[in-house]
Every structure is written in C-alpha cells, then in structure tokens.
Structure 1
Amino acid sequence: MTSVPWASPLRVTTPHQGALHTGPVPDPLCVILAPPGPEPLACHAVELLLPVGTSAEHLVADPPAVTLDQAPEGWSIHHTGGDRFTLRPPAPAPLAPGTRLDLALGGLGTGTADGTALMEARVVTGPDHEAAAPSARYRILTSQTPLIEYFTASAIHVNHGNGVKLNWKGLPSDSSGTVSYELYIGRDAPLDVTHQTNSAGEGSHEVPNLTTATAFALRVRKGQTQEDIKTLVVTVETPDLTVGELGAKGTVRLMGEPKYLIPRETYQNKLPGGVYQAETDGVIAAYIEQTDKTSDQKARVTITVTPPPAPGHSSKQPPGHRYEATSTHLCPANLLAPVPAQHQVTISPAAGGATLQTQVTWYPMGTGALKKQQ
C-alpha cells in the first residue's frame, strides 16, 4: 500500500487498511502527524497530491467538494491547483515528541468503477515550501460498491412455528479479491453461505420453525482486509412463553445485580481476561478503547460463548459463537453477547502493543452466577 520514508512524520490511513469506500457513504481519508524522533516537529502545512479526474485511477472528481472533517480549530483546506491540496493550521503548529495530530478529509470519490489511485503527502516544516520532510507515496484501492447492499427477511413478524426467508445482496463475483459470506442465526455457530450466493452477489436462506424472537447477522469479508456486518430481528407473535396473569408478593426482578468481570481501567502489559461458566442466562456488555494516540494499532475484545458438549459426547467440545469489537483511538467500540445457562464464556482483550481501556460487565437473567474457571 505505501512507500513511506524512514522516520516519516506523516502517515495516511483509511478505515479499511488501504481500501477507501467512496460510495454510497464515503470513507474519510485520515492523515496522522507525529514527530518521528526526540525533536519537536514544526508543521507549517500538509501538502497532498490527490489525483483529480473522473476515472478509476482518480480520487477527487470535484475539488471544491473536498472537506476537512476532522482537525484542530482553525485548520483549513485549500485546493491550490491541479492535484495539489494544502492543509494549513492557523499558525505554525509545533508537535512535541510523543504527541500526535489527526486530520480527516471527506468528499473523496469519483463515482466510477473500483480502481487504484496513487497519492503523495508531505509535511511543510518551514515558511518556505521547499523546507519539507520527504514525500510519502500511497496506493489507495477505491470501491464504489458496498460489501452488503441489503440484508432483509421475508417477514419481520411471524406466527409461532412459521419460518422466514432471508435475502441479501453483496459484491458480484467478478470483484477483485475473495468474497465470503457467514450467516449468524440466534446463538448458533455461523453458517458458511458463500455457496448460496450467486455471481451477482445475491443469496438467500430459509429458516424454518421460529418459536421465539431471533436475531440474524450477515458478515461479508473481501480478502483479508475488508468486512461488513448487517443485522435484523424477526419476532414471533405467539412465542413459547405467553404471560397471562402473574401475582407476586414483594419485588420480582428479571435481571439480577450486574457484576464487573473487568473493571474500567487502562491496561497495557498485563491484559485481563479469563474463562467463566454461566449458571443462568445473561448478557455480557463490553467496552473497549485504544487510548494510545501515538499508535495506529487496533485494540479488540473477543468474547467466545461455547455450549456444553452434547449428551454422550463429553469429550467433544462443540464450536463456540464468537463476538468481537475493534477500536482505534479515534473510535471506541461496544458489544453485547447473549449467554445461555451452562455455556462457557472466554474473554480475551488484545492491545497490539498499545494501551487500552476496557470494561466487561455481566448482567444475569435469573438466579445464578458467572463463575470464573481460570
């Protein structure tokens, strides 16, 4: 993707690791400034060469539409002719060692077919524009087509015992890279439905005999770097449990007292986690944030919910259902993981060498604990 000079003070990134989705909701193009060594960095401007045109090798179709969507107060963007765009602070901005400045551009894209664009970026370090750090060159993959165009059900309310048909449209098979499809149904392990998706990216799956409200999720992956997830819920008109008249003396609670499995703190070298056993149904809520502004590493928390072995197969562990939330320092992440009784829960945070702040909380539904095994 890149050709970056040694100890460069500048990096260009995208939310999809070098791939820029330009439609229908365009991605930002992120520019990160950080002193590469022990000396402060004097930033008088940032110059970008963004190919202007309407072909697949261009990044900008309409230069006035390019905006500076994230920047410290007073920064501005100027189209200074041809492919050149200049980002300027209100005054020369010195960056101390160990600090980082993030800028994000919007309004990119040409509305054409997928392609590859080459761009350059450099930091101007003095009043004379010739005083600049070496340019960094980047190859940006552009994509006009979303990974998932739609994911729908034939009905969002069904009678007890009826089924639904799930339909989706993703990338056509002639797109570059390998495209795979996984379907999550309730708390079951995901199904590989790649073979149920035709060359136009259209697929379907029949789900029979629904007896309770069910959540569905479709995950699409393109190659090793891009993925998207869409979800939906189908409710059942007459579920297994119908509440008529209930009487109680005292207080009746559906949800028990929440318990912190991992308190909200900042971690780096020693990351919390563990394996737990659920005595009752419940929900785990997790929050994670990568807090190291000098690093573009991602922090993630993974929760794997594994059912007990089937009767007569005590030595064979069935596959678990994996939930994952990923964060950069620009974007914290949350997740909710349903946990049925008697299931095993494995919690695994990972920081990629950066610091992270995380919190994991157990909300029981019923009487019982989530006991730590190891």
Structure 2
Amino acid sequence: MTHHAAPTCTLAPHGDTTALRLTLANPTPEPVTCSHVTITHRRASGPEPDRPADHQHEPPTASSGTTNWDLQPAGTARHELRPADPVTITPGTSLDILLKGLRPTQGSTHLEVTCHTTSAATQPPPAVFTITGPTEDITSFWAEPADVKAGTPFTLRWTAKAPKAGLAYTICYGDTAPVPVNSFMKGQDGTWTCPGIQKTTAFALLATTTSGNDTLTSARTLTVGVGVPNLTVGRLSADGTVTLFTRPTPVLPLTTTHEPRNRTHHPTTDGLVAAHIRPGTDCANALLRLRVTTIDPDKVDSTGKHLTVVHSAETLAPDSNAPRNLLVPVPKGATLAAYTMAAKGSYTAQVTWYPMGTGSLDAI
C-alpha cells in the first residue's frame, strides 16, 4: 500500500524576509515516515534577479517545531530538505516545515515539492505551486511609525496594482485572522489602521491572483517594533563647554552603488545613528533598514539566558525626488545592523554613528 504525504505550500510573514511554509499532510489511517523533501524550482516569468554576494545575507534555514532540517542544493534548480532522523507523520495530522530567510525575487517561480517516504512502494508525484516575488503586484509596504508603544494604533500603507476581480489583498500578522484589505485601497494606494500590538510583530501583505485553476501569490513583509531602546547618559556636569556627541563614525560611508550593503557593529557607548538614502534617476524604491538588538535584563528563558529585544526601523525612498532619513537611538552594548538596497538601478546612502561618549564602534 502506498501512503502519500500530500504537500501544500504557502507564503508566511517572517520579519523582513519571505518565509515559505511547506505542509505535509497524512490523510491515511497509517503513519507515514518522511525521509526527506525535494524542492525543484524554475522561473516562470520575469527577469533573473541580481544575486548579492553570499556574505550579504544569512543563508536560509528550515525547521519544523524543534527539528532542524538540513537544506542543501541537489543539482541544478533543485534542493533537498533532510531531518537529522526520519520524521513520522501520524494518521490525520500534518507537519509544517518553515523555510526562513528567503529573499523575494522578481517574477514568478514554479515549485515542485515531493515528500519522500520510507515506504518501498512508488513515491507520490510532486505537488506543483506557483509563487511570485514582491514586485509583481505590490510595489511598497511600510508602517507609520515603524516603532510604537504597546497597544497603540498605527498605520500600514502600501502601493500596489489596483484591486479588481481575481486580485485580492490580505494582511496577516501574529495569531490574528487574515484581514482582507481591498476595501481599504483607493486606486493603487492602500491604508489600514492596526488596532495595536503588544510585542514586536511581523506583518505580511499578500496579493493573491486567481485565474481559472491557477493561483499566484506575491508578498511584502515588514516588522513593527514595540518600544524604543533606552539611552543612558549618566550624570553630566561641567564648568565649560559640554559636547554631547564626540567624533562621528561611519557605519556605511556615503556611497553611490547598485549593490546591496550590509554591516553589523557593536557600540561600546550610547549613541544615535543617522541614516540617509536617495534613489538615482534610474532607480525606484530604495530601502534603508536599521535594526538594533538589545538584551532584556528583566526577562530570561527556561535555561536562565536573558532574552533579546529587536527594534527595527526602515523606510522606502520611492524615487530621486523623495529621499528618506532615519534617526535611531542605539544603547551601549547593543548590536546595530544597517542594510540598504534597491531592486533595480543605483542609489546613494550613508549611515553614521554619533557616540555620546568616548567608546568605540566595533565591527562584527
């Protein structure tokens, strides 16, 4: 007897990147043991994306619950997911595998997903899905503001193709039911007010196009932070001139480029980070993101390790006539990550750290 673990495939919000959720269901009365999963992909439309250097991003990861899966290439346009030990899917249940850290690309892509079982019988045929990158239907997606107080309403805005029959937009976040937002769009501009969140939360704007039996999904994701890192200046007294900021240090020096830029630093004193980005005349939608990670001294996990708190601020400059700026506090001992990129064309960006003291900014 052949037992099929039928895969399904959906996009899921996960911070500032795209996550792909593979669900392997077992509708049979017998257990199914999955040895590995193969994913074959080919581009269906759109140009090949420009690939950044490997050091620009962390590699994708895959997990299901507490089980980590090894994601490795297995030939041209083919990857394998393997758990440390075969995973058994009990009757009537399913297994979710979340691939994190995927970078959305332009155009649509066909995925063929096959769950390989330890049964000696013939393996089930692959399930085929089509997903699209964020530039197919959605141009931009941002929060105003990007950091809020717990429980305070804030606004999500986006630009995208105007909704029509067969094109539906949905916002997903946390454990809340998906929110249909076609009615919140006027032409290509959308505005939706979130009633508030209690902790830093990832949001996804999904655009689903249905044509006959084909369904295409594109997505944009962002993170809204709760709270702002505290700055500790300490006691300040002087008889003469007081200099609040000492020598500024470049995090990302002023540069015009086509390439993504990504740097991580560790400040040894409190400070502020000022950042600026301007698209070139050949560019649209240049992204500037600052992420500050701190240690919460009052919260620990089950092992006694202090929990980390991530505060993320980002802005999207739509064209050369609309540069964007960010000003973010960075406390002593935090980790500062700065990232800039443009989907197409050149842009100019600069990120500078202004220390409130004589400490250094150490590269990681």
TM-score tier by shorter-chain length is 0.3 to 0.5
TM-score by length of 2: 0.38
The structure whose residues are more often strand, as a share, is 2
TM-score by length of 1: 0.37
